[in-house]
Chain A
Amino acid sequence: KAGVTQTPRYLIKTRGQQVTLSCSPISGHRSVSWYQQTPGQGLQFLFEYFSETQRNKGNFPGRFSGRQFSNSRSEMNVSTLELGDSALYLCASSHKTNEAFFGQGTRLTVV
């Protein structure tokens, strides 16, 4: 069974630009969550989508947004990039109360 797929794996962007990251969950999983991982803050929850609806949101500014499509694939968008947005962005999919499975992440570098 295929795992969680995130694309692209690596990105380099310039301050002020915007970026879109993609996540394809495990087949049958309807919940997709996004996390930001940095050396200083660790893994921090961004938001969760279930059946195309945002169900939870972490403490991040409005520049961070996301959406989920009818096939459960999800995208997250960061607008007006700042240097501090450089991080590993991780997507996890889960099914009801079962464990969350993570993708390999997208490494975003803002220069």
Chain B
Amino acid sequence: EDQVTQSPEALRLQEGESSSLNCSYTVSGLRGLFWYRQDPGKGPEFLFTLYSAGEEKEKERLKATLTKKESFLHITAPKPEDSATYLCAVQASFADSWGKLQFGAGTQVVVTP
């Protein structure tokens, strides 16, 4: 069965203190791996899609990388506005599944000034 595990569960950072979030996955054929950011009471906000091992994507202070078994979300010099829960999700590769995402439990990030 497809499984997504995120670590750590929670992360408290000082402003400017870089860190990384981990997402390890097992899936019967990976179509895509997604990172989302979610603020309390709101829907997840799309950040990145990664499709193949070795792929990297960047957006402002965030950089996502992918290997065959895990993905990392690196937060460089975070600011308080980066505080959120970061969710990882995988999409399996069989033909009719691209509307179905399997989510991890998320990493709650708090950045203090």
Contacts and interface: CB of A to CB of B under 8 A. Distances in A.
B41 A97 contact: no
A68 B87 CA distance: 27
A45 B101 contact: yes
B111 interface: no
Nearest to B95: A55
Interface residues of A, number: 31
A45 B44 contact: no
B46 A101 contact: yes
B43 A43 contact: no
A90 B38 CA distance: 12
Contacts, number: 68
Contacts of A94: 98-99
A35 B105 CA distance: 14
A50 B99 contact: yes
Given A42-B106, A45-B100, A50-B99, A100 B42 contact: no
A50 B49 CA distance: 21
Contact of B100 (A4, A33, A103): A33
Given A42-B105, A99-B49, A48 B100 contact: yes
B25 to A, nearest CB: 15
B24 interface: no
B106 A48 contact: no
Contacts of A31: 98-99
B103 A42 contact: yes
Interface string A31-67: 1110100000011110011100001101000000000
Given A49-B99, A55-B96, A105-B41, 11 more contacts: A6-B43, A35-B103, A43-B87, A43-B103, A50-B99, A56-B99, A56-B100, A99-B49, A100-B34, A104-B42, A105-B43
